[in-house]
Structure 1
Amino acid sequence: MIGVLVVDDDFRVARLHAAMVERVPGFEVVGLAHTAEDALAAAAALRPDLVLLDEYLPDRRGSAILREMEAAVIMITADSDAAAVRRAVARGALNVVLKPFGHQVLAERLAAFARFWGQLGHAGALDQEAVDRALAVLHEGDHPVAALPKGRSSVTADAVVAALRDARRPLTAVGVADTVGISRATAQRYLSDLARAGRVELRLRYGTTGRPEHEYAWLGGS
């Protein structure tokens, strides 16, 4: 799970953003903070992987403490001025999200971050191609892998694809479910969609006893 610290001076907004994060598979909120001082203390104590950092805090601007964060940062700001965006990026923000925004906007950025995190999660030394590939996904939108059937979530579909891509080996429905944090039945539905769309190859794995297991291998593509 990717741990997220949510920082916003408004208690209600902080809780709203935290609820949005918790709805995205693979993410959990590890803490909330409402001032720059509390944000730095929480980041040091909780060691989050990602911080959603509000720009306008009562004691200091978020961009002023960005470099002090030992975590990846997505800036959250109501300031749409180009200079503010440049400042946030120059100081290390991976992305900038303008207020107000809906769940899908944040979910798309988190899904992209999860793909980036997954590509680097088990890596040792990297070559340039691997670095380029990981960085490229940071700003990918949450593009559904196909026209999704009614009732499917594009965020969950993306998380299933990321699990298959990053595994570098075929996975069973149980393996996908455990990686993404969904039920086996849910994983099976999304895997069936991908198989019908020609995005994965269905294979049979034979054990020493019992029925063969279905495995799913990613066939590539964006």
Structure 2
Amino acid sequence: MRIRVLIVEDDIRVARVNADYVERVPGFAVVGTAHTAAEARVRVQELAPDLVLLDHYLPGESGLRLLREISADTIMLTAVSDTSTVRAAFAAGALNYLVKPFTAEDLAERLAAYARYRAQLSSPDHTANQEEIDRAVRLLHDKDGKGTPKGRSAVTARLVAEALRQHREPVSASEIAQALGIARATAQRYLTTLAEDGRAIMNLRYGATGRPEHQYQWAQLPAQQP
């Protein structure tokens, strides 16, 4: 099940851009938008989103006031960057804080991290130990600000990730390369990054020649709670 996102942004054009950014990230879906705090309250009640992307500047009242009222997980997306507001946002429950202007890749990093954090704490009947809690917190922020590595394309990275997700069985870099029409070495680099990020599982398969071949499979995250 996809992570359901509500976008709260007073600028209609910016809201559309942010919605487009979210829809590019595998595993996420925009279920609605709101342009005022009052409208956001209604949408939260109606849609019960998993995640709210919240601007600070809203007509009539601040996003921080709304943040204190809603129970959904929230990431602030705002041009406000003074330290008192940042501290107040985290104190009020924001899980992350992204300053405008930002790129699609910047937002995708935060969303992917949130998905890993959510997966780590997804079992409602499980009592997490300290190690699991610490890991969840690290997952929420460990990729912040790193961006796409130099010499890498965010578009290619997304295509490789989507291609891997579509395969139920483990596949090789050669198979991904053939499916996308890219070089095997290129596919190998992006698959290795997915494995390092924990989004893919890498195993070795030994063929008739005895030479091992890397096989990759999308990491099966626990199902999201509705």
Does TM-score exceed 0.5, indicating one fold?
yes
Residue 29 (structure 2) pairs with residue 4 (structure 1): no
Alpha-carbon distance in structure 2 between the residues aligned to 1:114 and 1:100: 23
Measured in 2, the distance between the counterparts of 1:7 and 1:22 equals: 15
Asked if 1:128 is matched to 2:130, the reply is: yes
Q: TM-score, normalising length from structure 1?
A: 0.71
Q: Could you list the per-position Cα deviations for residues 138-173 of structure 1 after superposition, in whole angstroms to 9, with x for gaps in the alignment?
A: 112266898887686445667899x8xxxxxxxx93
Counterparts in 2 of 1:99 and 1:148: CA distance versus 1, 3 Å: closer
**Which one-letter code corresponds to 1:23 in the other structure?**
R
Q: Report the residue type matching 2:67 in the other structure.
A: L
Secondary structure, in 3 states, of the residue corresponding to 2:46? Answer: helix
1:41-78 per-position Cα deviation (integer Å, ceiling 9, x unaligned)? 10111011110001000021000110211210001111
Q: 1:8 to 1:91 in 2, by over 3 A?
A: same
How has the CA–CA distance of structure 1 residues 203 and 145 changed in structure 2, closer, same or farther, with 3 Å as cutoff? Answer: farther
3-state DSSP of counterpart to 1:174: coil
Structure 1 unpaired stretches of 5+: 164-171, 178-184, 205-213
Taking the aligned partners of 2:62 and 2:193, their CA distance within structure 1 comes to: 49
2:49 is the counterpart of 1:48? yes
| Residue aligning to 1:76 | 77
Residue 111 of structure 2 corresponds to 110
RMSD (Å), alpha carbons: 3.6
Give the superposition deviation at 1:85: 0.6
The one-letter code of the counterpart of 2:143 is G
TM-score (structure 2 length as normaliser) = 0.70
| 3-state secondary structure, aligned to 1:38 | helix
Identity %: 43
**Unaligned segments of structure 2, at least 5 residues:** 172-178, 197-201, 207-214, 220-226
Asked if the contact 1:202–1:216 (Cα under 8 Å) also holds between the matched residues in 2, the reply is no
Pair 12,87 (structure 1): closer, same or farther in 2 beyond 3 Å: same
Q: Give the deviation of 1:195 after TM superposition.
A: 6.7
Distance 1:110 1:156, change over 3 A: farther
